Amino acid sequence: MIGGTVNVKNISKYFDSARVLNDISIEIKSGEFFSLLGPSGCGKTTLLRIIAGFEMPTSGDLLLDEESVLSKPPNQRHVNTIFQNYALFPHLSVFENVAFSLRLKKLDKKTIQNKVEEYVGLVQLQDHIGKYPAQLSGGQKQRVSIARALINEPRVLLLDEPLSALDAKLRHELLVELDRIHDIIGITFIYVTHDQEEAMSVSDRIAVMKDGVFLQIGTPFEIYESPSDLFVADFIGASNTIQGKVVEIYEKYARINTPELGEILVDLDKPLKAKDHVVVTLRPEKMHISKHCPSLDAPKVNCVSGTVEQMIYTGSHTRFVVKTDQGFEFKIFKQHAQYFTTEEPITWEDRVYIWWNADDSFIVEVKHP
Ligand SMILES: Nc1ncnc2c1ncn2[C@@H]1O[C@H](COP(=O)(O)OP(=O)(O)OP(=O)(O)O)[C@@H](O)[C@H]1O
Ligand SMILES: [Mg+2]
């Protein structure tokens, strides 16, 4: 199958006087796995409903495969939607749920049989084809709705938080499944979620939304490593945020003075001048923690000392909160690469050093004085 292109052009949407989408534009490529990620109420479902044809924008245009489709009803758009709550017919078997739209099209019996078997097989439910929705688990029900949406051979599949009703393990399983199905059928997926890990793990690109606008559109790597602002940095994974004033600029680094940590070196990833005010973020997994001061012969390493305030063991890593002597609370994630380690264990209230490479900081805001 061939994926459709989706071109959202300057779309705004008001409900009465409330503006829910504010002049947003985006071009989604054929076959892309594209995610809309943002907090509750930011307008994700509204945008999806506009693309599907269930809602009209107040202004702007929507092109599917280069053609404006605003005047077309949902069933003429080559788009299908999967909802969070499955929306299956309870009185119909898996087979009949999946066959439903083909029966409406009055296809012959043999064609229906073959196609339903093909799509039920695609979502790996062949052993459950005669069951009714009440006899299926949540994950199986969602597989039925995937098969039912795909059997219409849409060019674009819209998925509105399709996994949010499932528990964590099933959610992960079905996400891998969706990724596999996307690879096999090759159509465009637009996936709505407020779970950043979900979006990061499967998307080609992600649009981070807030209050009806896109704050950043990029690959998971771009959004994680180069967040456009503080909101994106915080929303996508954890971060430490430090404010400071530029003291001196070097070729690749800047020295900044911070009220909470004294002077530190940061990577010069944006043009800066002396006296600029900057906001810098640091990812907790890029920080190091130990009881002994590291050898600081490398000039671009920053090191501060503090006390362990919190320690949460998660199995794969430990999350520390360390309060520096000046009162700044640092989040640090320490990966457990080895079970037996010669390092001295760290625990609550220990005095520790934390250090990080200046290359691993990222400037998210610059204000010129
Ligand atoms: N039919 C409607 N009438 C009035 N207001 C609406 C309507 N639909 C949505 N809204 C409002 O628009 C805003 C965006 O809603 P939307 O459902 O698009 O958010 P969302 O990003 O999908 O949130 P969630 O993650 O909770 O699903 C909300 O403030 C919501 O109350
Ligand atoms: Mg929603």
DSSP, residue by residue, 285-351: GG-EEESSPPP--STTEEEEEEEEEEEEE-SSEEEEEEEETTS-EEEEEEE---SS-SSPP--TT-E
Atom of ligand 1 nearest to the CA of 42: 21
Nearest CA to ligand 1 atom 5: 15
Atom of ligand 1 nearest to the CA of 46: 18
pLDDT tens-digit profile of 107-160?
999 999 999 999 999 999 999 999 999 999 989 999 999 999 999 999 999 999
Pick from 234, 266, 299: which residue ends a domain? Answer: 234
- In sequence order, the β-bridge partners of residue 262 are 258
pLDDT tens-digit profile of 295-333?
766 668 899 999 999 999 988 899 999 999 889 999 999
User: Domain of 319?
Assistant: 238-367
1 inside domain:
no
Which of the pair, 2 or 349, is modelled with greater confidence? 349
Which DSSP helix (H) or strand (E) runs through 248? strand 240-249
The preferred substitution site among 8, 12, 44 for testing ligand 1, maximizing ligand atoms within 8 Å of CB, is 44
The structural domain count of the chain equals 2
Cα gap 343→350, rounded to integer Å: 14
Q: Does residue 259's CB lie within 6 angstroms of at least one atom of ligand 1?
A: no
245 inside domain:
yes
Residue-level pLDDT at 306: 95
Nearest CA to ligand 1 atom 16: 43
Task: Identify the band that residue 235 occupies on the pLDDT scale cut at 50, 70 and 90.
Answer: very high
Atom of ligand 1 nearest to the CA of 48: 18
| Residues 318 and 227 placed together within one structural domain of the fold | no
Residue-level pLDDT at 52: 97
| Residues 20 and 37 placed together within one structural domain of the fold | yes
- In sequence order, the β-bridge partners of residue 288 are 355
Q: Does residue 193's CB lie within 6 angstroms of at least one atom of ligand 1?
A: no
Residue-level pLDDT at 105: 92
The preferred substitution site among 12, 14, 15, 51 for testing ligand 1, maximizing ligand atoms within 8 Å of CB, is 15
Pick from 234, 267, 296: which residue ends a domain? Answer: 234
For 116, other C-beta atoms within 10 Å of its C-beta total 22
145 inside domain:
yes
| Residues 248 and 227 placed together within one structural domain of the fold | no
- Ranges 84-88, 114-118, 139-143, 171-175, most confident: 114-118
93 inside domain:
yes
Residue-level pLDDT at 325: 87
Q: Does residue 46's CB lie within 6 angstroms of at least one atom of ligand 1?
A: yes
| Residues 176 and 305 placed together within one structural domain of the fold | no
Atom of ligand 1 nearest to the CA of 161: 27
Nearest CA to ligand 1 atom 24: 40
CATH number for the domain that contains residue 99? 3.40.50.300
Cα gap 42→352, rounded to integer Å: 41
Nearest CA to ligand 1 atom 28: 41
| Residues 190 and 267 placed together within one structural domain of the fold | no
Pick from 234, 266, 288: which residue ends a domain? Answer: 234
Mean pLDDT of the chain: 93
Residue-level pLDDT at 300: 82
| Residues 229 and 335 placed together within one structural domain of the fold | no
252 inside domain:
yes
Cα gap 115→150, rounded to integer Å: 10
| Residues 122 and 181 placed together within one structural domain of the fold | yes
| Residues 217 and 294 placed together within one structural domain of the fold | no
Q: Does residue 15's CB lie within 6 angstroms of at least one atom of ligand 1?
A: yes
111 inside domain:
yes
Residue 280's alpha-carbon distances to 21, 242, 286, in angstroms, are 29, 5, 14
User: Starting from the edge strand earliest in sequence, which strands make up the sheet with 33-37, in order?
Assistant: 79-82, 156-160, 188-193, 33-37, 205-210, 213-218
Residue-level pLDDT at 305: 92
| Residues 126 and 261 placed together within one structural domain of the fold | no
| Residues 124 and 258 placed together within one structural domain of the fold | no
| Residues 294 and 158 placed together within one structural domain of the fold | no
CATH number for the domain that contains residue 268? 2.40.50.140
Residue-level pLDDT at 341: 65
